[in-house]
């Protein structure tokens, strides 16, 4: 997801913009740029690639000015080149933009016919040129911006700067987050409060349809009908310490190691009496729920798949999972007593948000499980539950995934209790299992060096399979996603039983299979899958517990002995080594594990 920053104050804007853009690097990007205004003139500097390229350019060609905007771009329309980088500008207007202008082609065609000249391949460039057109017709800054946004269709967060006016930043928000930071004689703008950590804690969140004019005299906010409106300030406690790597080489490794602590907070929540009280789910008729739909994207969707087993097992509720980007296009039936659960770390993922809006429009019960309660999904969901993972800066979802699983497990247990499907003894058993998880995760984190050795082998292979049965099937999907998104090794996750129905043709010496097989009721079946692989010379990396390793550990190429936990909690345990496997593979290949190529932390476009 692109990153936006804006500054209006008493100091030189350029270094402040650059430092704040560094705070947004985790979101993923492929070019960056800033605009400042000095002596009334617009100065624009942009560079493709990493932020360091922009920093180098600004050393060679510094720009002055106490007002500016900046952007890290994740390319949607047009390649990741300097000309396509933001800010995009006309003669007198410079803008940065997150989101997609869906009707940019027709606007661009009209402006070209009216004699306006385009330089880039981006959809964004229509914004400054459209605003320029209204300024050229004599409209005020405010009216020019309002006329411009009234013509835009799609999602956007936009900052406008105007030549000859070094006391005005105009903002517009529709579908993509934008916040204003206040600090004495300085005002900041950002697409994410995180970029303002250490600069200010006083934040105003703009709402969809809002525009705002920021000047040294103050900030005026307009609602979607362009009428003045008040938006309250909140205090955000992101401190600079949270942004450090805490002695770890990468945020991803730090966040993997934070899981015992993060999970402890989530576990403490779901194991406390009546945690699903009035405050959290209000009058959601949990006792009348007849089915659960679980929706998310990527890793969050795999959390949904795992949770669907739990709702069936613990609450005897039909649990259906959907890839959020597919959901609304099949015109799903929303039953009055179904509960739709939306899982999202960022709460800004456009596909998941779009599915949520479909359910809300069809008056379905909806509940979001989120890491950011100031997010768009939190604002629009009828109910939302926090996962307590704290900041997750690496693009890879690690501690957020396991915290999502804990909250989902807690929800399934609670529904099991409410529906009287769980005896007190059974409930206590699961509760005990959850409480023991942080200790088990610490044991696995101590296997990091052993896992690094397996990664050494994996990085010599162009492909890998991940297989498992039952709860280990979605866990295998997540393991494959982690490996491919972090190390760029092609990896495929699948149900172990599916291997013989086609994919087994892939097996050969250079095509290893990671087998997830706790010694449970499915172990023997997975064992026969392993024999199928071994008889075709395929290398095997086996993750199991002591009993499983004793049984077949001597026949495999690599094995990892994991703690034996309650079968329903194995996904949380087995995902930790898979996160470390992906991390070490990426590091061994010398890749930027915190910002993998082409990826964004939250994908705010459909
Ligand atoms: C996970 O490692 C990926 N970065 C990605 O699949 C992510 O889980 C997905 O884009 C959903 O993001 P969200 O949880 O913020 O909605």
* pLDDT per residue as tens digits for the range 477-502: 999 999 999 999 999 999 999 999 99
- Structural contact between residues 239 and 201, judged by C-beta atoms closer than 8 angstroms: no
**Rounded Cα gap, residues 312 and 295, in angstroms:** 16
**Rounded Cα gap, residues 440 and 452, in angstroms:** 19
The pLDDT of residue 468 = 98
350 touches ligand 1 (CB under 6 Å): no
Question: For 114-137, what is the mean pLDDT?
Answer: 96
**Catalytic pick from 45, 66, 527, 601?**
601
**Rounded Cα gap, residues 485 and 494, in angstroms:** 17
Give the residue from 135, 120, 121 showing the smallest Cα distance to 170: 135
Strands 202-205 vs 179-183: parallel, antiparallel or unpaired = antiparallel
- Structural contact between residues 425 and 364, judged by C-beta atoms closer than 8 angstroms: no
pTM of the predicted protein model? 0.78
Task: Select, from the ranges 250-254, 377-381, 443-447, 471-475, the one with the highest average predicted confidence (pLDDT).
Answer: 471-475
Question: For 548-552, what is the mean pLDDT?
Answer: 95
**Rounded Cα gap, residues 516 and 543, in angstroms:** 5
Sheet holding 31-38, edge to edge: 41-48, 31-38, 67-73, 3-8, 186-190, 179-183, 202-205, 233-235
Question: Which atom of ligand 1 is the closest one to the Cα of 398?
Answer: 2
Q: 3-state DSSP call for residue 135?
A: helix
Question: For 467-484, what is the mean pLDDT?
Answer: 98
Higher pLDDT, 527 or 155: 527
The pLDDT of residue 204 = 94
pLDDT class of 532 with cuts at 50, 70, 90: very high
Q: Is the bond preceding residue 549 a cis peptide, omega within 30 degrees?
A: no
375 touches ligand 1 (CB under 6 Å): no
Q: 3-state DSSP call for residue 486?
A: helix
**Any idea of the CA torsion for 327, 333, 338, 343, to the nearest 10 degrees?**
10
Q: Which of 236-240, 444-448, 542-546 has the lowest mean pLDDT?
A: 236-240
Q: From ligand 1's centre to the CA of 388, what distance in Å?
A: 16
Q: 3-state DSSP call for residue 344?
A: strand
β-bridge partners, 262: none
293 touches ligand 1 (CB under 6 Å): no
Q: From ligand 1's centre to the CA of 324, what distance in Å?
A: 12
The pLDDT of residue 69 = 98
Let me know if 2 is a catalytic residue.
yes
Specify the residue for token string 């771009």: 73
297 touches ligand 1 (CB under 6 Å): yes
**Rounded Cα gap, residues 347 and 378, in angstroms:** 7
The pLDDT of residue 335 = 94
Question: Which atom of ligand 1 is the closest one to the Cα of 346?
Answer: 15
How many CB atoms are located within 10 Å of the residue 156 CB? 23
Classify the phi-psi angles of 222: left when phi > 0, otherwise alpha if psi is within -120 to 50, otherwise beta: beta
β-bridge partners, 320: 293
The pLDDT of residue 181 = 95
Mutate which of 321, 347, 397 for ligand 1? The one with the most ligand atoms within 8 Å of its CB, which is 397
pLDDT averaged over every residue in the chain:
93
User: Terminal CA-to-CA distance of the chain, rounded, Å?
Assistant: 12
Residue nearest to atom 9 of ligand 1 (CA): 298
CA distances in angstroms from 189 to 157, 159, 173, 605, listed in the order given: 11, 8, 12, 21
Nearest 5°: the CA angle 241, 189, 161 is 145
Question: Which atom of ligand 1 is the closest one to the Cα of 400?
Answer: 14
Q: 3-state DSSP call for residue 3?
A: strand
The pLDDT of residue 199 = 85
377 touches ligand 1 (CB under 6 Å): no
The pLDDT tens digits of the residues spanning 157-200 come to 999 999 999 999 999 999 888 999 999 889 999 998 878 877 88
Q: Which parts of 488-569 fold into alpha helices (H)?
A: 523-534, 546-552
- Structural contact between residues 345 and 390, judged by C-beta atoms closer than 8 angstroms: no
Helix (H) or strand (E) holding 468: strand 463-468
| HSE of 14, CA atoms in CB hemisphere, 13 A | 19
Q: From ligand 1's centre to the CA of 599, what distance in Å?
A: 10
**Rounded Cα gap, residues 520 and 418, in angstroms:** 28
pLDDT class of 237 with cuts at 50, 70, 90: confident
Whether 242 has a pLDDT exceeding 70, the answer reads no
348 Cβ partners below 8 Å, 6+ apart?
1, 176, 177, 372, 375, 376, 377, 602, 604
Let me know if 159 is a catalytic residue.
no
344 touches ligand 1 (CB under 6 Å): yes
Q: From ligand 1's centre to the CA of 532, what distance in Å?
A: 34
Question: For 380-401, what is the mean pLDDT?
Answer: 94
Determine what percent of the chain is predicted with pLDDT higher than 70: 98
The pLDDT of residue 238 = 67
**Strand spans (E) along 9-153:** 31-38, 41-48, 67-73, 88-89, 93-101
């Amino acid at each position: 997801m692109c990153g936006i920053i804006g500054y209006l104050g008493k100091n030189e804007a350029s270094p402040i913009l650059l430092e704040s853009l560094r705070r947004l690097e985790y979101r993923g990007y492929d070019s960056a740029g800033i605009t400042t205004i000095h002596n009334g003139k617009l100065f624009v500097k942009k560079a493709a690639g990493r932020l360091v390229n922009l920093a180098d350019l600004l050393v060679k060609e510094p720009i002055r000015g106490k007002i500016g905007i900046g952007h890290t771009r994740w390319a949607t329309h047009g390649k990741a080149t300097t000309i396509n980088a933001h800010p995009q500008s006309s003669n007198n207007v410079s803008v940065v933009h997150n989101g997609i202008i869906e009707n940019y082609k027709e606007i661009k065609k009209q402006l070209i016919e009216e004699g306006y000249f385009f330089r880039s391949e981006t959809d964004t460039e229509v914004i400054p040129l459209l605003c320029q057109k209204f300024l050229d017709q004599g409209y005020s800054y405010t009216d020019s911006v309002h006329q411009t946004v009234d013509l835009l269709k799609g999602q956007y967060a936009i900052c406008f700067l105007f030549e000859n006016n070094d006391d005005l930043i105009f903002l517009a928000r529709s579908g993509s987050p934008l916040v204003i930071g206040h600090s004495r004689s300085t005002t900041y703008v950002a697409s994410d409060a995180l970029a303002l950590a250490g600069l200010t804690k006083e934040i105003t969140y703009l709402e969809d349809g809002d525009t705002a004019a920021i000047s040294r005299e103050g900030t005026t906010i307009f609602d979607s009908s362009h009428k003045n409106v008040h938006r309250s300030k909140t205090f955000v406690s992101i401190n600079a310490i949270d942004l450090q790597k805490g002695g770890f080489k990468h945020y991803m490794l730090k966040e993997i190691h934070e899981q015992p602590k993060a999970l402890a907070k989530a576990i403490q929540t779901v194991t406390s009496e009546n945690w699903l009280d009035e405050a959290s789910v209000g009058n959601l008729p949990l006792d009348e729920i007849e089915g659960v739909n679980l929706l998310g994207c990527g890793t969050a969707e795999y959390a949904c798949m795992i949770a669907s087993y739990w709702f069936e097992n613990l609450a005897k509720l039909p649990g259906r999972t959907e890839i959020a980007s597919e959901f609304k296009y099949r015109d799903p039936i929303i039953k009055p007593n179904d509960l739709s659960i939306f899982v999202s770390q960022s709460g800004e993922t456009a596909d998941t948000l779009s599915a949520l809006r479909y359910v809300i429009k069809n008056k379905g019960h909806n509940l979001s499980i989120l890491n950011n309660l100031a997010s768009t999904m939190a604002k629009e969901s009828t109910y939302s539950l926090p996962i307590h993972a704290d900041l997750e800066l690496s693009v890879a979802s690690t501690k957020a995934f396991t915290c999502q699983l804990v909250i989902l497990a807690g929800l399934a247990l609670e529904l099991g209790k409410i529906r009287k499907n769980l005896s007190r003894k059974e409930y206590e058993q699961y509760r005990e299992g959850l409480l023991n998880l942080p200790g088990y995760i610490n044991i696995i984190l101590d296997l990091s060096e052993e896992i690094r050795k397996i990664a050494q082998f994996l990085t010599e292979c162009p492909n890998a399979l991940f297989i498992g049965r039952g709860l280990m099937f979605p866990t295998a999907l997540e393991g494959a996603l982690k490996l491919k998104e972090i190390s760029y090794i092609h990896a495929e996750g699948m149900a172990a039983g599916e291997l013989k129905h086609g994919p087994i043709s892939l097996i050969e010496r250079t095509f290893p299979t990671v087998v997830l097989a706790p010694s449970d009721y499915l172990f023997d079946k997975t064992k026969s899958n392993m024999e199928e692989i071994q008889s075709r010379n395929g290398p095997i990396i086996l993750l199991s517990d002591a009993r499983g390793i004793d049984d077949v550990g001597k026949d495999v190429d690599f094995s990892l002995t994991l703690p034996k936990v309650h079968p329903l909690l194995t996904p949380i345990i087995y995902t930790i080594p898979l996160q470390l496997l992906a991390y070490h593979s990426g590091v061994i290949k010398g890749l930027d594990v915190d910002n993998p190529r082409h990826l964004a932390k939250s994908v705010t476009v459909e």
